Amino acid sequence: MATAHNSVGSIRFSVIEGRGAAFRALLVGLVLVVAAGLWAAHRMQAEGHMVTGMNNQIVWGIPHVFAVFLIVAASGALNGASLSSVMGRTLYAPYARLSALLAIALLLGGLAIITLDLGRPERLMVALTHFNFTSVFAWNVLLYSGFVLLAGWYLWTLMERRMNPLTKSVGTTLFAWRLALTTGTGLIFGVLVARQAYDAAIMAPLFIAMSLSFGSAAYTLLLFAVFDWSGRPLDEDLVQSLRRLLIVFVIAVLFFVSVFHAGKLYAAEYQGFEHFLLLDGGALTWLFWAGQIVAGSLLPLWLMLWRPTARSRPWLAAACVLVLLGALAQLYVIIIGGQSYPLEIFPGKQVIESSFFDGAVLHYQPRLPEFLLAFGGVAMALLIVALSMKVLQFLPRPGSAD
């Protein structure tokens, strides 16, 4: 097994062997899911979005839920790298490479979904060459591409001995960039004044807290899976540190969600939407309370704080899975729920309604091509991680750290 030395202590790194039938089956399965996603994208492009549950009222569907989830989680997946290179936490140094790799892979998977969901992916070059700097979407094109370049540069400083002195400065720049990226993603919704569900500057810090929570859960699960699969020991101090961080981040998300909805309830123009979402939204209400709040926040916190389960790795893994499922529920409520509630063009005024869905709550039923495209993006991210670990030295060799 090939190894390489790193300037942090005596850490040596290696590739994952990946010679067994299980690893090959994993790769084949991921490739098949990616192929199914590409087929779904081709069908959506050839036949139009009529093959999906989206329409001219709900234009962001399940693919956007998964795309935003992957993009937001990508920023948070850098927690390990930032704690090592920026905060000086040597405990995370052996795992910084894997942190940056996961961040790049998640972002590329999310961007692939968005690009293929456009219906005309070949026109992506227009977005890359013509910028309207009054649009937050134009800012995000620069933020996303800059994130990938900086994360790649950061990996280079970790893997190339002569570049090691630049690791802290590049890592610090990347840390600031990831905050800007998540802020820009949150402002996509925060500046949409036409929707009562959005139009709140607190969306920016909310999305930052979400990224820290989602990314930490994804990173923890990846560490568990990779180290168990390869038979490597995982530092118990690291596991408990990740648990404590995830507790803080989940609480932070709950805090900002509470402030967001409390602020909306205070303003008369948003009270109709809040009543709809919190009490009278049917499946959306259930998804908010049961999926996002209980299953995605309170139950993981209980598992990570209750003494019989607090120090158990299987229960921590279960808590991480619940956080990620709650993340999808939260983004579904934000994206789909925000579009389902009818537009109130003239608040406080009586408007003569037409036959074009004025004042009607819209219903969205996702279809198979949307799920295939969404899961294809997730599979693409995992495939990038698996192949990268097979080719390049991302994993610390057992017993190599001080």
Top-confidence residue, 335 or 129 = 335
Q: Which domains does the chain have, with CATH numbers?
A: 14-124+135-342+368-395 (1.20.1630.10)
Q: Count CB atoms within 10 A of the CB of residue 268.
A: 9
pLDDT, averaged across the chain: 88
Burial of 251 from C-beta contacts in 10 A (0-12 / 13-18 / 19+): middle
Predicted local confidence at residue 3, as pLDDT: 41
Q: How confident is the model at residue 357 (pLDDT cuts 50, 70, 90)?
A: low
Query: Which residue's structure tokens are 């001219």?
Result: 56
Q: How confident is the model at residue 2 (pLDDT cuts 50, 70, 90)?
A: very low
Length of the chain: 402
Q: Are strands 395-396 and 12-14 parallel, antiparallel or unpaired?
A: antiparallel
* Of the candidates 326, 317, 339, 336, the residue with the CA atom closest to the CA atom of residue 257: 326
Q: Count CB atoms within 10 A of the CB of residue 351.
A: 10
Q: What percent of the chain has pLDDT over 90?
A: 60
Predicted local confidence at residue 336, as pLDDT: 92
Alpha-carbon separation of residue 334 from 26, 109, 110, 167 (angstroms): 33, 21, 17, 37
Predicted local confidence at residue 332, as pLDDT: 96
Q: What is the mean pLDDT of residues 159-167?
A: 91
Predicted local confidence at residue 364, as pLDDT: 86
14-68 residue pLDDT tens? 888 777 888 999 999 999 999 999 999 999 888 888 888 888 788 889 999 999 9
Q: How confident is the model at residue 346 (pLDDT cuts 50, 70, 90)?
A: low
Predicted local confidence at residue 76, as pLDDT: 95
Q: Spell out a b/e string for 131-141, using b for 16 or more CB atoms within 10 Å of the CB, else e.
A: eeeeebeebbb
- What's the predicted TM-score (pTM) here? 0.91
Top-confidence residue, 84 or 356 = 84
CA distance 119 to 45: 5
* DSSP H helical ranges for 88-166: 96-117, 124-129, 136-159
Name the token pair of 304.
């990570």
Question: Residues 140, 188: contact at Cβ < 8 Å?
Answer: yes
